[in-house]
A and B are shown apart, each in its own frame.
Chain A
């Protein structure tokens, strides 16, 4: 058919447009900056190895939730014997991380919105500022 050449051209154009992010970034030789996260200032060790936390912190939070709410277990023991209070607001945010400088930065960068945790759970930095 005569239209074959136009179809081919159209497909090539589409592929070129579709893969723009790949070849444009390669051509302009810039590296996209990763998320600028602020690590905890006072805490030295995490509740779990960093690799595990990077991959499965949601699983840890889910386990903490079930432990605290459904099993009445309010203390978490790390592999090396440290004990932590099972609480998102008091431990994760209260002792170590800043929600805005740490959690939100990565989440915003990767476009992953945290499930509805913040509808109920408090950011201690935020509530401290808003107490009249």
Chain B
């Protein structure tokens, strides 16, 4: 039987598709990723921003985070990478700024990933490169991220940054304890999960000399954060979106 060029090409394409498809199907990961330990803590942060000494030039929380995680200092503002930063009160709560005591509104707010209990970013990630852990931390897996930036579009808090270029040249002192990232992935605050695993508190919390940031376990009724939220009224960013942020701003 004479094999035509058309038949050969079609058979080759079909074989390639079949082999690729089979390979893809059989390599789907089966191992579950989420660490669902019983009695998981529920990590959260309460920020007493009125204690912030930003007007005196203090930027310890940002500095501590940068050091701990090799956050690059990207010269172009459009490509900046930030895990924790400061923003004027009016920018964060624009509908609740008028007629408010200037003593409150004159302090900037420390903004970071809210590690939502119902995160819109993890919902949209097509590869599972970002997911919510049982302890409430919204994690990033920089090995799996394809850089589609869907999570950035989904985040209502502007918490996520993208590496528009290789970050290494923009890191003054590389901290050997923590990896850098590479170009083409999305990064954000990880609540210092690597420090939490060693029993330490997050770098920003430790770095703040005014003790303006309280970090703790919401599931522990005796924790400092529980008593802080119990005794003082706290605001959250855009709670009406149903995201359930884990970051509270104490008033």
Contacts and interface: CB of A to CB of B under 8 A. Distances in A.
B35 A120 contact: no
Contact of B180 (A90, A120, A124): A120
B47 to A, nearest CB: 25
B3 interface: no
Interface stretch (A6-14, A17-25, A68-76): A68-76
B55 interface: no
Interface residues of B, number: 24
Contacts of A95: none
B73 to A, nearest CB: 14
A52 B8 CA distance: 43
Given A74-B197, A132-B173, A122 B141 contact: no
B182 interface: yes
B41 to A, nearest CB: 12
B206 interface: no
Nearest to B35: A72
Contact of B179 (A71, A122, A131): A122
B181 interface: yes
Contacts of A90: 176-177
A70 B33 contact: yes
A70 B141 contact: yes
B6 interface: no
Interface string B193-205: 1100110000000
Contacts of B228: none
B139 A71 contact: no
Nearest to A128: B176
A102 to B, nearest CB: 17
The 10 tightest CB contacts between A and B, nearest first, are: A119-B182, A127-B176, A72-B35, A70-B33, A120-B179, A124-B176, A122-B176, A74-B197, A121-B179, A127-B174
Interface of A: 65-66, 69-74, 89-90, 94, 116, 119-122, 124, 127-128, 130-132
Given A65-B143, A72-B197, A122-B180, 14 more contacts: A66-B31, A71-B33, A72-B135, A74-B194, A74-B197, A74-B198, A89-B176, A89-B177, A90-B177, A119-B166, A120-B142, A127-B176, A131-B173, A131-B174
20 contacts: A66-B33, A69-B139, A70-B141, A71-B33, A71-B35, A72-B133, A73-B35, A74-B198, A94-B176, A116-B182, A119-B166, A119-B180, A120-B179, A120-B180, A120-B181, A121-B179, A122-B179, A127-B175, A130-B174, A131-B174
